Amino acid sequence: MIFSTVFKRFAEQSPIPVIARGLMERVLNPRQLDQWFEQNAEGQYTRELLFSSIFDIMSVVVCGIRKTVHAAYQAGKENMSVSVTSVYNKLNGLEIQTSAQLVRYAARELQPIIEKLGGAQDPLLPGFRVKILDGNAIKASEHRLKDLRATASGALPGKSLVVFDPRLRMPIEVFPCEDGHAQERSLLADVLATVEAQEVWIADRNFCTKDFLLGIAARKAFFVIREHKNLPWQPRGLETFVGRSETGEVFEQAIEISDETGTKHIFRRIRVSLKTATRDGDKNLFILSCLPESAADAVKIAALYRKRWTIETAFQDLAVHLNSEINTLGYPPAALFGFCVALIAYMILATVKAAIASVHGTETVETKISGYYLADEISGTYRGMNVAILPEEWAPFRYISLNTLVALLKQLSANIKLSAFLKHPRGPKKITVKPKLDPKHPHVSTARILAMRKK
């Protein structure tokens, strides 16, 4: 491929935004997105405003390239034939299932790239595909909608269940819900419909329902889920000590759960007597599983459950590194679309990390590289790069073979100056006592306080 002098300069001096932009061109270019939308949208259709334009607006907001949807529209309105009102109307009317399907589509497209780069981890449990399930509630939005101005309560624009693949290190599926007050368990039927044989589902106790456990087992899949105290079960034997894990002593017991027909199902109940109590004060952790002993002993199952923190870390990264919750979007479809676009941006970052790891090593990326600095580099350079590099120069990313793409990504990754993206871990926080406010002295002079320290 032949690139211009300007393109080469960005590739040499700021390769991370080039990698991210190239991946977007490969997987989510306008032509591809609009074709996908026409095939998958159910009630909506395109008149003058293309779906790719809406995605582009939201993606630059999510990545911090523009502050708001209105600012993103303003920057590109010369290329659009509709008003900003039409943009908001389109966002507010997006079907949430379209947003969910877009996440699945992006995950399918990026998976072979990550695997070809060698960025996929070894399976947590050989012979099985592990999936981690957790819920995410979008924070309260501003009261911009007329209907919300009469209430002082927080307005919740929706929530989602997200499926994380620890082998690919990225979310692969989402189940959105417009009702911000809905119980997460109400979405489990949708999740259950996607469960396939030989999968292992890891989840917290909120997802420990009889129907979900029995449904997973009925599909010849498996679960590693923390026990909820309201789950009905009967013992089938005594608890026995089986070994020690990093977190404590491990015990196991056979239990039975009856379905609606009275048929009894035998599962495993693992108890971890913790060395250190959880933040909720629990000294014992109870985990239920239907994995056979030949696949994983109780100590291994306890270790598998500990991997659940990876999805919580992903949610934290979404909040810190990406603008995943745009509180100016009050309508649930718009807010959920923004969250889904943030999930896709996270996938792009995961692929960028895979490209860096292919050159600089997985351990370096996992332990030394800051996701915050990666995201900051992309948002800080993206706008100028898009002005300087002509759109047609990105076109080759669409058509080159997978092998050529991977070779190019590795070449770009070799130009990265890792020192600019290193983490700076802080030590443990010191326990401090918050001083009480003296109403007689509501303000102090910083200069005088500092002068006293010098004395």
> Are the beta carbons of 328 and 144 closer than 8 angstroms?
yes
Asked whether residue 108 is assigned to any structural domain, the reply reads: no
Task: Examine the domain organization and report whether 307 and 227 are in the same domain.
Answer: yes
The string of pLDDT tens digits covering residues 386-401 is 889 988 899 999 999 9
**Range of lowest pLDDT (141-155, 197-211, 421-435):** 421-435
In a domain, 446, yes or no: no
The residue out of 313, 337, 371 marking a domain boundary is 313
Statement to judge: residues 300 and 335 lie in one domain: no
On whether both 62 and 187 belong to a single domain, the answer is: no
pLDDT digits (tens, 9 = 90+) for 91-142: 888 899 999 999 999 999 999 999 999 999 899 999 999 999 999 988 888 8
DSSP-based three-state secondary structure for 168: coil
Nearest Cα neighbor of 236 from 271, 273, 264, 208 is 264
d(CA 33, CA 348): 16
Q: Is residue 444 part of a domain?
A: no
Same domain, 329 and 259: no
pTM equals 0.89
The reply to whether 293 and 337 lie within a common domain is no
pLDDT band per the 50, 70, 90 thresholds, residue 359: very high
298 and 380 share one domain: no
Query: 172: which 2 tokens?
Result: 């692969």
Q: Are residues 244 and 377 in the same domain?
A: no
Q: Tell whether 76 and 217 lie within a shared domain.
A: no
- For the cut 70, the answer to whether the pLDDT of residue 1 exceeds it is no
Helical H segments across 41-136, by residue range: 51-62, 69-76, 84-92, 96-116
Q: What is the pLDDT of residue 169?
A: 92
Q: In terms of domains, do 51 and 159 share one?
A: no
Query: Into how many domains does the chain fold?
Result: 2
Residue 445 belongs to a domain: no
Residue 121 to residue 123: CA distance in whole angstroms: 6
pLDDT above 70: residue 46: no
Residues 332, 158 contacting (CB under 8 angstroms):
yes
Q: Does 113 fall in a domain?
A: no
- For the cut 60, the answer to whether the pLDDT of residue 47 exceeds it is no
Can you give the pLDDT at residue 78?
78
Task: Report the share of the chain in percent with pLDDT over 90.
Answer: 53
Rounded to 10 deg, the angle between the 51-62 and 332-360 helix axes is 70
**Is residue 302 over pLDDT 90?**
yes
| Cβ–Cβ < 8 Å for 378, 140 | no
pLDDT higher than 80, residue 427: no
Q: Please indicate, yes or no, whether residues 353 and 272 belong to a single structural domain of this protein.
A: no
C-alpha–C-alpha distance, residues 48 and 54, integer Å: 12
Residue ranges making up the domain that contains 79 = 5-96+325-421
255 and 391 housed in the same domain? no
